[in-house]
Amino acid sequence: AQSVTQLGSHVSVSEGALVLLRCNYSSSVPPYLFWYVQYPNQGLQLLLKYTSAATLVKGINGFEAEFKKSETSFHLTKPSAHMSDAAEYFCAATPGTGTASKLTFGTGTRLQVTL
């Protein structure tokens, strides 16, 4: 069975500092991977996705993530945090073969950005 693990339920960074949110997957077949962001009182919005093309994926709002098969990881990074980045971030995976509608989510990481 597929699982997604996000290390750290809360991450706090200073404005302008590097953001690193960790995600590891467990799957016998490399899955397709997604990062979603959820702002307060809103639904989830897709930041970026990995679908077996380039291993370094660029998304919206300056975020990017690198797929590392050897480490079964898909960590999310942003070089310089902004106050508006404060939100909850979810990593998700779906089977990498055939049709798939079942996303498996991690437990989420709440990002706090301080002055």
Partner 1 sequence: ETGVTQTPRHLVMGMTNKKSLKCEQHLGHNAMYWYKQSAKKPLELMFVYNFKEQTENNSVPSRFSPECPNSSHLFLHLHTLQPEDSALYLCASSLEGLAEDNEQFFGPGTRLTVL
Report how far residue 93's alpha carbon sits from residue 73's, in angstroms, rounded to the nearest whole number: 11
CB of 26 to partner 1, least distance (A): 13
Structure tokens at 105: 């989510």
Q: Which is nearer to partner 1, 101 or 115 (CB)?
A: 101
The residues that touch partner 1, with contacts defined as CB under 8 A, are 4, 9, 32, 34, 36, 41-46, 49, 51-52, 90, 94-108
CB of 15 to partner 1, least distance (A): 27
CB of 14 to partner 1, least distance (A): 26
Alpha-carbon separation of residue 84 from 19, 53, 95 (angstroms)? 13, 29, 32
- DSSP, res 96: S
